[in-house]
Chains A and B, each alone.
Chain A
Amino acid sequence: MRRRPGISGLQTAAAARDQYRSLGENVAKIRTDLMKEQLATFRNQLEEFARKHKNDIKKSPAFRAQFHSMCAKCGVDPLASNKGFWAELLGIGDFYYELGVQIVDICLATRPHNGGLLDLEELRGLLAKRRRASREPITEDDCLRAVSKLKSLGGGFEVFTVGRRKLVRSVPTELNRDHNLILELAQVHGYVTVQEVENELTWKAGRALDALENLMREGLAMVDDGHPDGKRRYWFPCVGSAATGTEAAESVLSSPN
């Protein structure tokens, strides 16, 4: 005989559902609480760690890099916000903002000379000069971090690699593959000739001249017709010998205007 559903049966089913739900909610709550607790502990620990090692983080570049990589592993970005407790705690946001401003300053000041491409090593040298010896040393890692923060400003701030050098770009110029290859080639002597480019890269006539003229128009290359062999040389101040470049940048930075 088939039983028809009765009131009590429905009530039992509803009660069971309720119980399941509340149990489930309980479990979820316990889990959340646990997570919250863990997070709080983690945060406390990290804060404590940061507070304890504040000076090390500010002073020692190696320590700073390790701290960053640790934060990155836990998915924490101490630079994400200037308002976060990191900034208050460490002033670490300020550190990179200050560095960023100085980098922008140097890039703009040296742009007339290098067309907006600056060797990263050169930049570091100039930063060190500007920040004076009393300040904490700046590593390549710090520069890269600061520049990556500048990227969000637009204006094309970016670090890219050409050959064995890293260049900081402060102009929105897009460099294509041809340009990069030429820059790489120019690192050897600081200059290239059309013939050199064509031979080294086995390009057909016209391609090299085209790319070189383009680089020149962008202010990245300068022509030199004065060599006794009569061949036009294209010089690249951004990959020029480090000494000349730094001196150039310094003279630009120290000029009164």
Chain B
Amino acid sequence: MADFSFPYFYNYPPYFTLQPVRDTREKQVELWKQLILKYCKHHKYFVVDLEEGDFPLFANANIDRKLTYEAREVFLGALVSEGKAEWMDKGHRRCLILWRRIQDWAELLLSFVRENGMEDSVMTLEEIMSGDETRGSELAGIDRGVLIRAIKILEQKGKAAMFKGQATDDDGVKFSAH
């Protein structure tokens, strides 16, 4: 995987402090929002933990700066209000990043199934997340929760049916993607 190239502002210290002036802050939030989405997409991160030290993007050792908890919450909150992220708990400690919307994940899954002639096949969730078939595709590494929600959208359209396995590892989906 190619190295992630950080934008200019990531090495400019004041961008790690929440700016008090409104216009400047808006610009700052916008830049961080884009960066978080790009970074998560690049590294296939789905869940961001706000607690210190857990998410590498929020600290830049090169310039010895890190985002405060408040700043993290502001930037992620801005994504949440746009529908590009969701808080996973009331305390805003964990955040699900949707750099692709759930319905777009569903579309992606559907077109993957069609392109590979698997319209009638059965796959386990594990296979989709980390199996040979999806290796190298954009589906590889998808978050389990996101995957289940995407499949549920397909279920509503009658394109798929989820079934429970004996163990969680065996949970799977039967496509009927014609």
By the criterion CB–CB under 8 Å, are B64 and A247 in contact? no
Residues facing A in B1-40 (CB within 8 A) are 7-9, 11-17, 19-21, 23-24, 27
* Nearest B residue (CB) for A113: B27
Residues in A whose Cβ lies below 8 Å from that of B16? 224, 226
Residues in B whose Cβ lies below 8 Å from that of A240? 12
Residues in A whose Cβ lies below 8 Å from that of B27? 112-113
A side interface size, CB within 8 A: 21
Chain B, interface size category, equals 10 to 19
Q: Mark A233-248, 1 if CB is under 8 A from B, else 0.
A: 1010100100010011
Q: Of B7, B8, B17, which contacts A224 at CB under 8 A?
A: B17
Docked complex Cα distance between A240 and B65 (Å): 17
Residues facing A in B43-75 (CB within 8 A) are 64-66
By the criterion CB–CB under 8 Å, are B13 and A227 in contact? yes
By the criterion CB–CB under 8 Å, are B19 and A226 in contact? no
Residues in A whose Cβ lies below 8 Å from that of B66? 226
By the criterion CB–CB under 8 Å, are B21 and A226 in contact? no
Residues in B whose Cβ lies below 8 Å from that of A200? none
By the criterion CB–CB under 8 Å, are A227 and B19 in contact? no
Closest CB-CB distance, B16 to chain A, in whole Å?
5
Q: Of A191, A222, A226, which contacts B24 at CB under 8 A?
A: A222
Residues in B whose Cβ lies below 8 Å from that of A244? 8, 11-12
By the criterion CB–CB under 8 Å, are A216 and B21 in contact? yes
By the criterion CB–CB under 8 Å, are A217 and B21 in contact? yes
Closest CB-CB distance, A124 to chain B, in whole Å?
19
A225 beta carbon closer than 8 Å to chain B: yes
Q: Which of B8, B9, B66 has the most CB of A within 10 A?
A: B8
A161 beta carbon closer than 8 Å to chain B: no
Docked complex Cα distance between A228 and B64 (Å): 8
A128 beta carbon closer than 8 Å to chain B: no
Residues in B whose Cβ lies below 8 Å from that of A233? 13-14
Residues in B whose Cβ lies below 8 Å from that of A226? 13, 16-17, 64-66
By the criterion CB–CB under 8 Å, are A248 and B9 in contact? yes
Q: Of B11, B20, B65, which contacts A216 at CB under 8 A?
A: B20
A219 beta carbon closer than 8 Å to chain B: yes
Residues in A whose Cβ lies below 8 Å from that of B14? 222-224, 233, 235
Residues in B whose Cβ lies below 8 Å from that of A225? 17
Closest CB-CB distance, B164 to chain A, in whole Å?
45
By the criterion CB–CB under 8 Å, are A222 and B19 in contact? yes
By the criterion CB–CB under 8 Å, are A219 and B17 in contact? no
* Nearest A residue (CB) for B23: A219
By the criterion CB–CB under 8 Å, are A223 and B19 in contact? yes
Q: Which of B17, B23, B24 has the most CB of A within 10 A?
A: B24
Residues in B whose Cβ lies below 8 Å from that of A222? 14-15, 17, 19, 24
Residues in A whose Cβ lies below 8 Å from that of B20? 216, 223
Q: Which of B7, B13, B15, B20 has the most CB of A within 10 A?
A: B13
| A interface residues (Cβ-Cβ under 8 A, vs B) | 112-113, 191, 216-217, 219, 222-228, 233, 235, 237, 240, 244, 247-248, 251
Closest 3 CB pairs of A and B: A222-B14, A247-B8, A224-B14
Q: A223-B20, A251-B8 given. 7 additional CB < 8 A pairs?
A: A112-B27, A217-B21, A223-B19, A224-B65, A226-B66, A227-B64, A227-B65
